[in-house]
Amino acid sequence: MHWVELLLVRRASLRVVSGPLTVFSKALHAARRGRFELGAYIASLMLFLGLYNLLPIPILPGGGALMAAIESVFGKIRLEWKERFYQMGFVFLVLLAVMVIYNDLYRVLPSLPRKGDPTPICFAVQYES
């Protein structure tokens, strides 16, 4: 979870976050190296997903635990506030999914534009006769 801290203090790029395409390619790479490597990769992936679910993001189980802790300290929370809390969590997860899919597609299709890349003026194709 050290990378989460690096992302929050902006010492790591958001481009390091990857999704299903990268997970699949790394699993293939681990499988080619042997059963033990594949098992270790899957175990680390499951551990990471378990820790990710504990993050206090409203729509995840960790968010439910956070909501229960807040209610135990301050008493019952109004339904409107709970709804907004979960809506913010949903929006966060959708934006995270879009970013992750974009990062994966960028790794697979390197012709996608990236921030800071020069914008091409025109696409010229040179034909040989």
The whole-model pTM stands at: 0.67
Output the pLDDT for position 11.
66
Give 91's pLDDT tier (boundaries 50, 70, 90). very high
Question: From residue 66, how far is each of 20, 38, 57, 62, 71 by CA, in Å?
Answer: 28, 34, 9, 6, 9
Give 118's pLDDT tier (boundaries 50, 70, 90). very low
Q: What are the boundaries of each domain within the chain?
A: 19-53, 56-110
Please provide residue 108's backbone torsions phi and psi, each rounded to the nearest 5 degrees.
-85, -40
Of the candidates 123, 83, 97, 77, the residue with the CA atom closest to the CA atom of residue 18: 97
> What one-character DSSP code corresponds to residue 15?
G
Is 60 exceeded by the pLDDT of residue 60? yes
Output the pLDDT for position 55.
83
Q: Which carries the bigger pLDDT value, residue 13 or residue 91? A: 91
Give 48's pLDDT tier (boundaries 50, 70, 90). confident
